[in-house]
Amino acid sequence: MERVFNFSAGPAAIPLAVLERARDELVDWQGCGMSVMELSHRGKEFMSIAERADADLRRLLNIPAGYRVLFLQGGASAQFSAVPLNLAGAEDKADYVVTGSWSKKALAEGRRFLHANVAADSADTGHTDIPDPTAWATSNDAAYLHYTPNETIGGVEFHFIPEVAAPLVADMSSTLLSRPLDVSRFGLIYAGAQKNIGPAGLAIAIVREDLMGRARPTTPVTMDYHQQSEAGSMYNTPPTWAWYIAGLVFQWLLEEGGLEEMERRNRRKADTLYGAIDGSPLERGLATGPAWPIWPATAAPVAWTSSASCARPGTASGRIQMHSAWVRPSGDTARYATVVIPTPPRAGARW
């Protein structure tokens, strides 16, 4: 069997060791005579899976006391509604920082449930950069400030955690578990699983306990963080298979050295990609080139479309995106990959 190099943003690649273990346990999980998909979510077998996943995620992220971990349905987009319903009243105000497609969607949904104040918006630059935090128009009475640390469609990434007075809410769908994180800086972190954690359909929410129990009376019970927490994320039947795979990914991450090791590997991959771009014959401006081998060294040539002038990793904003990209190791059978590198319109910026 020949596996492709999958650069898709999500559903994204899952570690082969995890897939192989799931395959081996598919029809008979640890001798119980049933697949995980057939286990009762309230039975001792699945309860052990759920408890192990919770403990391993807490260990990976070093989640401090005073936070609840929820395994929810609906992906991250359901949290666009759940956040305002749980953290604010209909007449309350919340701040939103808009830096791309996903934060725009979060803002649009937030406006349905409260007074959403746009603290900052990079629309005037085509969402190619992060507005200067010192110029953000935050509210003194905001119930929370919401932002998206990594916009996978536009390719803008925060390399800092905003300093704000209100509880900080972050959609970390594409960054969670890619590196160590100081969870204590946040009131609420949520993430869809399909990018770094496991199969699509699962969302994880890490909620500070003082923000629990504030849901409006009209909040659907399946979206109520307090109700879900009290039920162990099992008010209704959870996505058991996705939860199980996420737990296997957590175990694999710990076995591989944790998030410090993941950060080291991700930095190495980023340096490889940026190094190839720096060594390319591209000129400033939009350029579309022929098939070009960029990553990995043994992979097939990769078709690409790119534009120059992006911030490198470690700066305030990253401007790189792998989009719908996968290639086969043997070049003669390759499909294509696409690298999209949007251009921040800043004088003097280089890539």
The SS3 call for residue 285 is coil
Report, as an integer, the average pLDDT of 200-216.
96
Q: What is the pLDDT of residue 148?
A: 98
Q: Which residues of 43-65 are buried (b: 16+ CB within 10 A; e: fewer)?
A: eeebeebbeebbebbbebbebee
Q: What is the pLDDT of residue 282?
A: 63
Question: Domains of the chain by range and CATH?
Answer: 16-255 (3.40.640.10), 259-340 (no CATH)
pLDDT digits (tens, 9 = 90+) for 169-192: 999 999 999 999 999 999 999 999
Report, as an integer, the average pLDDT of 274-282.
80
Catalytic site residues? Answer: 102, 171, 195
Report, as an integer, the average pLDDT of 35-45.
90
Question: What is the rounded distance in angstroms from the CA atom of residue 25 to the CA atom of residue 5?
Answer: 25
Give the global pTM: 0.82
Residue 347: pLDDT over 70: no
Could you give the C-alpha distances from 129 to 148, 153, 157, 171, 295, in angstroms and in order? 13, 13, 9, 18, 26
Do 334 and 322 touch, CB atoms closer than 8 A?
no
Question: What is the rounded distance in angstroms from the CA atom of residue 63 to the CA atom of residue 206?
Answer: 9
Do 338 and 303 touch, CB atoms closer than 8 A?
yes
- Give the type of residue at 310: C
